[in-house]
Amino acid sequence: MGIVKKQLKRPEVLAPAGTLEKLKIAIHYGADAVYIGGDAYGLRSRAGNFSFEEMSEGVAFAKKHGAKVYVAANMVTHEHDEEGAGEFFRRLRDIGINAVIISDPALIEICAMDAPGLPIHLSTQSSATNVETLEFWKNEGLERVVLAREVSMEEIKTMRAHTDVEIEAFIHGAMCISYSGRCTLSNHMSKRDANRGGCCQSCRWKYDLYEVPFAGKRHSLTDEFDKDEPFSMSAVDMSMIEYIPELIENGVDSFKIEGRMKSIHYVSTVANVYKAAVNSYMEDPENYICKQEWIDELWKVAQRELSTGFYFSTPSENEQLFGERRKIPSYSFIGEVLSYDEKTKIATVRQRNHFSVGDDIEFYGPGFQHFEQTVDVMWNDEGESIDRAPNPMMVLTMPVVQPVSVGDMIRKKK
């Protein structure tokens, strides 16, 4: 009898979408699903949260492109916070939202009772770290569990072997210094409740150690250390691009990308990379290799250094940000293509950051299409030749050396 090969399931690439524009771009660049926030019950009060009308437009766009839309409603409720939640969840169900992501048991119960038919996913805020927890929530009727970010790859393997509930795991983006994001630093330091959407990211601040003599002036003790910034609570970001096979083979159903407050440059790039990697692996698992160009591409939008989080070991001081940066992103996002004339080979572009004639720029689009060129000439919207594009969101035209498409992005080296 021959060896029966394990049937691999294609994982979902799940991208963040802080605005309707980001939702459309994420899907255009390969995301199978996006997660968004509504006007209530979420943890990103400063993100461009969606009105019901925007949700309807987003759901229609997603359905047209075979994608799904999830809504994060993962706040920790205090008394009266849950008021109106039943109506909120019913509206989401009727709009056609594919699932809602919740951490608070009260909101889970309200959703199940008041909006039957709306699938519920357990938020990472609930710190699911073992098989028994996953089975508990499965028995409560939840379809999917978003694992705690502290779970290891070996633990995921064990979970998949003993439960069939869907597993969603973070594979790229910011890491929280607190356990599964349950933090009260922001509450104490700025009176903004992190678990009700107001986090001020206290862990990203710079800290020092002072001696304060009685009735004297305080002075820093930093001089006693070798580093300019010896104290840190700021974690590096996560990137699992080099471990796509392990994630798929160990049964992760959804690859979650963090970053609802990140730019369209970030969303398009990261979704593009992980979709290319997943496609490559699923097409030929036995001959799969992680391409260096994928890693290089992610560094073009990385804002912090990168690590594998808790997947293979407990993070050490090397996974903290302090002192001089060990690697700095070298590209900036400068524009997007609005249209392209095949006869004249002229592209119409909307500027997003300053660039000039003589700059070396790079175009990229869905499906991991890239090419570079030098800006030789460009014209403003009145057809006048210009040597630079300094005005935000200005529309201009320029010749391109290869065909481009609507929605293609442009970046340049800093």
Examine domains 12-179+235-319 and 331-413 and report if their fold is the same: no
**What is the chain's mean pLDDT, rounded?**
89
Report the CATH number of the 331-413 domain.
2.40.30.10
Pick the range with the lowest mean pLDDT from 122-136, 139-153, 158-172, 184-198. 184-198
Pick the range with the lowest mean pLDDT from 37-46, 93-102, 366-375. 37-46
CA distance 154 to 148: 14
CA distance 398 to 414: 20
Residue 76: predicted pLDDT: 82
Q: For residue 126, what pLDDT band results from cuts at 50, 70 and 90?
A: very high
Residue 1: predicted pLDDT: 33
Q: For residue 4, what pLDDT band results from cuts at 50, 70 and 90?
A: very low
Listed in sequence order, the residues at least 6 apart from 175 whose beta carbon sits closer than 8 Å to its beta carbon are 149, 235, 236, 237, 238, 307, 309, 315, 319
Mean pLDDT, residues 174-190: 75
Residue 326: predicted pLDDT: 60
Listed in sequence order, the residues at least 6 apart from 287 whose beta carbon sits closer than 8 Å to its beta carbon are none
- Which of 80, 106, 84, 105 lies closest to 38, judged by CA? 84
Q: Would you say 105 and 77 are in contact if contact means Cβ atoms under 8 Å apart?
A: no
Residue with the bigger pLDDT between 385 and 3: it is 385
Residue 327: predicted pLDDT: 65
Residue 408: predicted pLDDT: 97
What the block records as the tokens of 377 is 């000439």
Domain map (residue ranges) of the chain: 12-179+235-319, 331-413
Tell me the per-residue pLDDT of 267-314, one tens digit each, with 9 for 90 and over.
Answer: 999 999 999 999 999 999 999 999 999 999 999 997 788 899 999 998
Q: Is residue 5 pLDDT above 60, yes or no?
A: no
Phi and psi, residue 301, nearest 5°: -125, 0
Q: Is residue 264 pLDDT above 60, yes or no?
A: yes
Q: Does CATH number 3.20.20.70 belong to domain 12-179+235-319?
A: yes
Q: Is residue 77 pLDDT above 50, yes or no?
A: yes
Listed in sequence order, the residues at least 6 apart from 160 whose beta carbon sits closer than 8 Å to its beta carbon are 167, 250, 251, 252
Residue with the bigger pLDDT between 198 and 282: it is 282
Tell me the per-residue pLDDT of 345-379, one tens digit each, with 9 for 90 and over.
Answer: 999 999 999 999 999 999 999 999 999 999 999 99
